[in-house]
Structure 1
Amino acid sequence: MGAGILGPMCRSIRVLHNFEPPATEDEIEAAALQYVRKISGTTNPSAANAEAFDAAVEAVAAATRTLLESLVTKAPARDREVEAAKAKARAAERYGSAG
């Protein structure tokens, strides 16, 4: 899978690897939900699709947990506050500062 395949369409999915403290279950589930919403094209599935949607979110979250637990790195852990400040600065540059 090439880097451009998920590019702009998954901007709201955050990097979860190599943080101290590690990614929380809520962060993993939120990323899985965003991914499934984007892939399915809906934020609120119909009753007929709710079961499949929920199963997909669960499967993506499980795969994400497995991946995060399996990854190794020699890089120092990222600091959440520093990364949040960087993201805020990028957004301000991209969209203009709101104040």
Structure 2
Amino acid sequence: MCRNIHQLHNFEPPATPDEIHAAALQYVRKVAGTTRPSQANQEAFDRAVAAVTQATAELLSELTTTAPPKNRETEAAKARARAERRYAS
């Protein structure tokens, strides 16, 4: 899976529409193998991003959990610490 796609479920506050769209865009870019499609493929690319955005929003609205919501700042700090360990030279 693409490292730029982050978990969106079970955060307080919940994922924003912009975060959902960004994840959908990254997914479609990964699947298509391009960051910017040609003009001939732009319409299909945009439809795919819209469909994935919609499906992701629906999924997030229907998921349930008993775990307490995660804090964005705490999770970001954990990710930075993992990156420091991973890329330490």
TM-score (norm 1): 0.87
Partner of 1:23: 15
The higher relative CO (CA closer than 8 Å, separation ≥ 6) is in 2
Partner of 2:29: 37
Tell me the distance in 1 between the aligned counterparts of 2:45 and 2:20: 16
- Which of the pair is proportionally richer in strand? 2
Q: Secondary structure at the match of 1:48?
A: coil
- The CA RMSD over aligned residues, in Å, is 1.0
Tell me the distance in 2 between the aligned counterparts of 1:96 and 1:43: 29
Gaps of 5+ in 2: none
Q: Shift of residue 11 of structure 1?
A: 1.0
**For this pair of structures, how many residues does the alignment match?**
89
- 1:83-94 map, 5 Å: 83-94=75-86
Q: Secondary structure at the match of 2:40?
A: helix
Q: Shift of residue 71 of structure 1?
A: 0.2
- State percent identity of aligned pairs: 67
Gaps of 5+ in 1: 1-5
User: Which aligned segments of 4 or more residues in structure 1 are displaced greater than 3 angstroms?
Assistant: none
TM-score (norm 2): 0.97
